Amino acid sequence: MLINTVILFLRDALPIFVISIILISMLQQQGIKLRWYYLALLTSVMLSLVLLNTFDEIAHTLDDTGREWLYACLYIVCYFISLLLLSQLSIVKRPVSVRKLTLIRLCAVALTVIVMTLNGANFLIYITGFWHQNNASNALVAGVILGVGICASIAVLLYFLMAFIERYCRLIREALLIVFSVGLLMKATKLLIQIDVLPGNRLLWDSNYLIMENSELGQLFTVFFGYDATPTLLQLLLYISAIVIAIALTFFCSTLSKSTRTIVSHKETV
């Protein structure tokens, strides 16, 4: 029970900590205060409770594939929201317009709410399912305390690591957001493979003998990089394509922004 709870935290709670730290750091760089995060947190708690109470009804829709479709679609939406957010953050203009700041806040709120709601509902299902079991409450409490401590420690280390590396690599936050959102896209492909929407019979390799996907380290890699011990060719191509698209979009928007500023500066000089 203790180990299962810790692994659950790494699988469902750690993504919440990671995306929160990444977005808070990115928006602070734009001078945006934390009010957007409080709104996202409150909204996520309410939606998680709603999803918890309607989980059975959702799961039995669409020939008992409703849950997979819901999660997969929202994970895909997260990827495109991340692309929109990256495109806005790459367009550097001073002073930043109110419209742009509003769009950045909306993207951050939507991304946070989706990740918190889906992962929070998974966690609540586990807690409510095991809380009343005999001799399980003590181990569950210990696991929760340990899991919160691990996730909080990783989040704090990630925050200061980003601040430190930012001195040498200015795109570290963007890179972390890219691999995190692509990881969510990989979760969507797994769910679609489970319900036979995508083919999953041709596995490229099985790396479980190196890093077990369901182990603590495997869950950590899954959160940060979308690690899959048994990927298919389609998943690998999609993973690479999604990263390339995100990097290309960020580079294009950044280059376009610099070119625009250069032209404007030249006109003002003339």
For 106-164, the pLDDT digits (tens) are 999 999 999 999 998 888 887 776 655 555 566 667 777 888 888 889 889 988 888 88
What percent of the chain has a predicted confidence (pLDDT) above 90? Answer: 41
Region of poorest pLDDT, from 22-36, 163-177, 243-257: 163-177
What percent of the chain has a predicted confidence (pLDDT) above 70? Answer: 85
Distance CA 135, CA 125 (A): 19
33-88 pLDDT, tens digit each:
899 999 999 999 999 999 989 988 999 998 889 999 999 999 999 999 999 999 88
What is the reported pLDDT for 20? 94
- Which residues are registered as beta bridge partners of 203? 232
What is the reported pLDDT for 266? 47
Indicate if the pLDDT at residue 198 is higher than 60.
yes
What is the reported pLDDT for 113? 96
Distance CA 151, CA 261 (A): 41
Beta-strand ranges (E) seen in the chain are: none
Region of poorest pLDDT, from 43-52, 84-93, 181-190: 84-93
Q: Convert 184-202 to b/e letters by CB count within 10 Å (16 or more is b).
A: bbbbbbbbbbebeebebee
| Contact in structure between 203 and 230 (CB atoms under 8 Å) | yes
Q: Which residue has the higher pLDDT, 2 or 134?
A: 2
What is the reported pLDDT for 136? 58
Radius of gyration of the chain (CA): 20
208-261 pLDDT, tens digit each:
888 888 888 888 888 888 888 889 999 999 999 999 999 999 888 877 766 655
Q: What share of the chain is helix, strand, coil (3-state, %, to 5)?
A: 80, 0, 20
What is the reported pLDDT for 76? 96
Contacts of 26 (CB under 8 A, 6+ apart): 85, 89, 108, 173, 174, 177
What is the reported pLDDT for 81? 96
What is the reported pLDDT for 21? 93
| Contact in structure between 59 and 172 (CB atoms under 8 Å) | no
The stretch 173-202 carries a mean pLDDT of: 90
pLDDT band (50, 70, 90) for residue 9: confident
Classified as helix, coil or strand, 203 is strand
Residue 241 tokens read as 């394509």
Distance CA 80, CA 76 (A): 7
